[in-house]
Chains A and B, each alone.
Chain A
Amino acid sequence: MSALLEIRGLKKYFGLKRHLFQRRTRFVHALDGIDLDLMEGETLGVVGESGSGKSTLGRTIVRLEEPSAGSIRYLGRDVSALRGADAQAFRARIQMVFQDPYASLNPRLSVGHALAEPMLVHRKVAGRRAARQAVGALLGQVGLRPEMASSYPFAFSGGQRQRIGIARALALEPKILICDEAVSALDVSVQSQILNLFNQLKKALGLTYLFITHDLSVVRYVSDRVMVMYLGQVVELAPRDAFFARRLHPYTRALISAAPLVSTAPREARIILQGEIPNAIDPPSGCRFHTRCPNVMDACRRVEPQLREIEAGHHVRCHLYAAGQ
């Protein structure tokens, strides 16, 4: 497997509005140095508390946000440097499935129109008849009937809408799908149908997924690898089974203990994290987790731990696993 997407030192700072008498602009460190290789054909699950930067990561990859620093390479080409037609072509390679099936479809466009438009813009099809045929095929691919093309979104259920959203993301034949909480808004029964659809599509089309969710059972079901984010950084990244079996990082442990059913390892007492997630404007010094970590040590407050490969493919950012331990 080779890396489809190489992310290096990716940062995204959001400037807060500054008022007249304030010296410096303050920044939210939404992403603070992300390094990540997304492998062809894998599903990478991304978890973390609210505000940890998961969505920002996805949005920066699809260029809804401009990175503040760092690089994103797709098959070796730096995509943030792309302009004009090249940027358009890149758009087609990476697509996104949104969380809210109600807000992510334009209520004024028929399903057929919404699906045909990107194909026409990117000249994937020429002419209305070809477009209609392609739309029918797309709808079939996501388990809907081609006749539905003439309907408007209000006629569909949440699950059906999410299928339409997926069909739209597939219209440009992308290699990578970013799914940001793509099933969170759905009923549990519908969730599993959509998750199965994702798995089918992956097999049929050879897709690669970046699957963002806060639901560990979903991550467990779909992922090949799991990545944990905390305050804009990656704190643990590991193959799924090793991740759930080993749970090396204290934060991961706390997350999993809060959702005990997903763990294969013997249950342990629930670890309740103290306090709120600190604010991402002035992140804590040293280890960002030290304000809430049950295993906190002296060094944690002063020295920032680096993301290290502890075992084959298992990366952790924590002083507990410093060399030699």
Chain B
Amino acid sequence: MFQYIVMRVMKGGLTFLAAVSITFLIVRLMPGDPTTAFISDSMTPQDVQALNTSLGLDKPLPEQYALFLRNLAHFELGQSFFYKQPVGDIIAPRLGWTLLLIGTSLLITLLIGIPLGVHSARHKGKGVDQAVSTMIVLGISIFIPLLAFVLVYVFSLELGLTPVGGAFAPDVEDSELISDVARHMILPTVTLVVVNLAQIVLYTRSSMLDVLKEDYIRTARAKGVDDRGVIWGHALRNAMIPTVTVTGLMLGKMVAGAVLTETVFSWPGVGSMIYEAVQKQDFPLLQGAFIVLAFSVILMTLVTDLVVAWLDPRIKLHAESTR
């Protein structure tokens, strides 16, 4: 197990290195002057000079790369064009909001999706199969802005049940903050849950079907464990494994969904910040947002992988015999 953890952490580090190296290369290898991405019109010559030195833009590429990594190691993500503040300081508070939104919707998705998946696997048959696959096709086809607009239109504008956007009312009392944030979170969370539910159901279902075929279920059944006990006891633990794996795989998609959802709902997370940065051509901020999101996703993937390994002893053995 220890060996597996070491291997896995190394892989995560490598992935992150790859991600940041891509951003480094994009900025430098883009056609045109590499510096334009970092120099905005509103800068004074002194500003430009200072920036050139801090990025090493006057030095050869390998040195720039080393400097880039060193800055990164010190959490130096550069200076936002628009806010004239360090990128890290702008992103940090917003990251919390994004994680709150993604975490909540992921939890709810799993709470609904796993039972649905198990249920549909138990009642396997042509009718159910058809319904499930149709639902999945529709689920993966949803265009997030449309869903979000419809929700706002119906629940906020027509029915007046939920706030239109933001994370809390500006004049809210401290004591009411939590419930106010919860009210603001409803629609963005519903959006993300609806979008991701289909995949979780799909994967839970197909892994359940695999597990149900396996011998130990038959053995347990033969031993007279009643049907429900079998399904929920033995199979579920094993079905957890692929579900957690899928959660890991879906993190990237969740982030993409969050960017669009936050934008529609003006949720004050990294996603809506990305939208603003695009409008303001704030490249350092965009780069910082990507690096931070990549780091979060890679870290979470690492965690889910370790959980899977902990749930499934076969993986450890496999890892040891193949690496």
Contact = CB atoms under 8 A, between A and B. Distances in A.
B321 A20 contact: no
Interface of B is mostly: helix
B322 A17 contact: yes
Interface string A1-41: 00000000000000001011100000000000000000000
Nearest to B321: A17
A17 B323 CA distance: 7
B3 A20 contact: yes
B210 interface: no
A20 B3 CA distance: 8
A20 B323 CA distance: 7
A237 to B, nearest CB: 37
Contacts of B321: 17, 19
A21 B322 CA distance: 13
A21 B4 CA distance: 12
Interface in B290-323: 320-323
A139 B322 CA distance: 44
Interface string B3-37: 10000000000000000000000000000000000
Nearest to A22: B320
A26 to B, nearest CB: 11
A129 to B, nearest CB: 48
A39 B321 CA distance: 42
A19 B323 CA distance: 6
**Interface size, A (range):** under 10
Interface string A288-317: 000000000000000000000000000000
Contacts of B3: 19-21
A19 B322 CA distance: 7
Nearest to B7: A20
Nearest to B320: A19
Contacts of B323: 17, 19-20
A21 B3 CA distance: 9
B288 to A, nearest CB: 36
Nearest to A20: B3
B152 to A, nearest CB: 51
Contacts of A21: 3
Contacts of A19: 3, 320-321, 323
Contacts of B322: 17
A231 B322 CA distance: 25
Contacts of A20: 3, 323
B9 to A, nearest CB: 14
A240 to B, nearest CB: 43
B21 to A, nearest CB: 26
A16 to B, nearest CB: 8
Contacts of A17: 321-323
A150 B189 CA distance: 58
Interface in B103-131: none
A17 B321 CA distance: 6
A58 to B, nearest CB: 27
Contacts of B320: 19
A314 to B, nearest CB: 43
Interface in B268-287: none
Nearest to A16: B321
A86 to B, nearest CB: 36
A127 B290 CA distance: 57
A315 B197 CA distance: 70
Interface string B135-147: 0000000000000
A145 to B, nearest CB: 41
A245 B278 CA distance: 89
A20 B321 CA distance: 9
Interface string A74-93: 00000000000000000000
A21 B6 CA distance: 13
A153 B320 CA distance: 40
Nearest to A19: B320
Nearest to A21: B3
B320 to A, nearest CB: 5
A19 B321 CA distance: 6
B4 to A, nearest CB: 10
Nearest to B322: A17
A27 B103 CA distance: 48
B314 to A, nearest CB: 15
A271 B322 CA distance: 40
A95 to B, nearest CB: 34
Nearest to B319: A19
A297 B282 CA distance: 86
A27 to B, nearest CB: 15
A28 to B, nearest CB: 14
A140 B100 CA distance: 73
A88 to B, nearest CB: 34
B8 to A, nearest CB: 13
Interface in B48-72: none
A266 B321 CA distance: 50
A17 to B, nearest CB: 5
A20 to B, nearest CB: 6
A249 to B, nearest CB: 36
A281 B296 CA distance: 45
A20 B1 CA distance: 12
B271 to A, nearest CB: 40
B27 to A, nearest CB: 37
A185 to B, nearest CB: 26
A166 B166 CA distance: 73
A19 B3 CA distance: 9
Interface of A: 17, 19-21
Given A17-B321, A17-B322, A20-B323, 7 more contacts: A17-B323, A19-B3, A19-B320, A19-B321, A19-B323, A20-B3, A21-B3
8 contacts: A17-B321, A17-B323, A19-B3, A19-B320, A19-B321, A19-B323, A20-B323, A21-B3
